Structure 1
Amino acid sequence: MTVLLVALGAGIGAPLRYLASQRLGIRGIFAVNVLGSFVLGALTGAAASTPAVALLGTGFCGALTTYSTFGYDTFHLLEQGARRTALLNALGSIVAGVLAAAGGFAAGTALFG
């Protein structure tokens, strides 16, 4: 059952990541990574059940967020000579992701904890 929940979540997250990337480029990847960090933080803060974590955490967030695309986008910016933008993308993604996870954790704890 757990594997099916992971697959269902991934089946929703992956297409959303693809659409965000196609429509918004690097900004879309940044946005889905921050959103995924928030959702995973909220699940943790809410002490979500194993099925919810499988569906939304491992499945949805795992497929929605993407470290490999973040790494490639940052490298591609460096290749193009856009060092400042690459640095902002890397630092901004890390800082925003951590802040979003903390905000999600706080929200999950406040609402469900």
Structure 2
Amino acid sequence: MNALLVVAGAALGAPLRYLADRAAQARFGGGFPWGTFGVNVAGSVLLGFLAGLPAGEQFGAFAGAGFCGALTTYSTFGHETFRLLEDGLRGRALLYAAGSVAAGLAGAALGFGLGLLVGGPLQP
């Protein structure tokens, strides 16, 4: 059952990632991977939030592993960083890589804190 919930969540997250990336490229151009950066940070906030809630295993499979897992993308992040380096944009590549990690960690911490506020203290 949980595997089907992961598939259902991924069926929502993957197209949203694609659409967010297309929208970011249309708005800001292709000089910086804003779409991937945005979905990775948003997914980190959401997954942190879910981790702070007393959510059940099935909801975690759907929303965490499925939706957030398909929304965010480490492989595209790696590819885009490498492309920036190939294009000789070392400073932009460094900013993207360091900014993505820092914003993702900060987003996860913020989301976790918000989840605790909404869901109450964690149960042992």
Q: Fold conserved (TM > 0.5)?
A: yes
Q: State the match for 2:42 in structure 1.
A: 35
Q: State the match for 2:62 in structure 1.
A: 55
- The answer to whether residue 20 in structure 2 is matched with residue 20 in structure 1 is yes
Specify the structure having the higher radius of gyration (Cα).
Answer: 2
Q: State the match for 1:4 in structure 2.
A: 4
- The structure 1 segments of at least 4 consecutive aligned residues displaced by more than 4 Å after TM superposition are none
- The answer to whether residue 47 in structure 2 is matched with residue 67 in structure 1 is no
Identity of aligned residues (%): 55
**Which runs of 5 or more structure 2 residues have no equivalent in the other structure?**
26-32
Q: State the match for 1:106 in structure 2.
A: 113
Report the TM-score when normalising by structure 2: 0.88
Shift of 1:21: 1.9
Shift of 1:28: 0.7
> How far apart, CA to CA, are the structure 2 residues paired with 1:31 and 1:87?
17
| Count of aligned pairs | 113
CA RMSD, 1 decimal: 0.8
More helix by share: 1
> How far apart, CA to CA, are the structure 1 residues paired with 2:56 and 2:4?
15
**Which runs of 5 or more structure 1 residues have no equivalent in the other structure?**
none
Report the TM-score when normalising by structure 1: 0.96
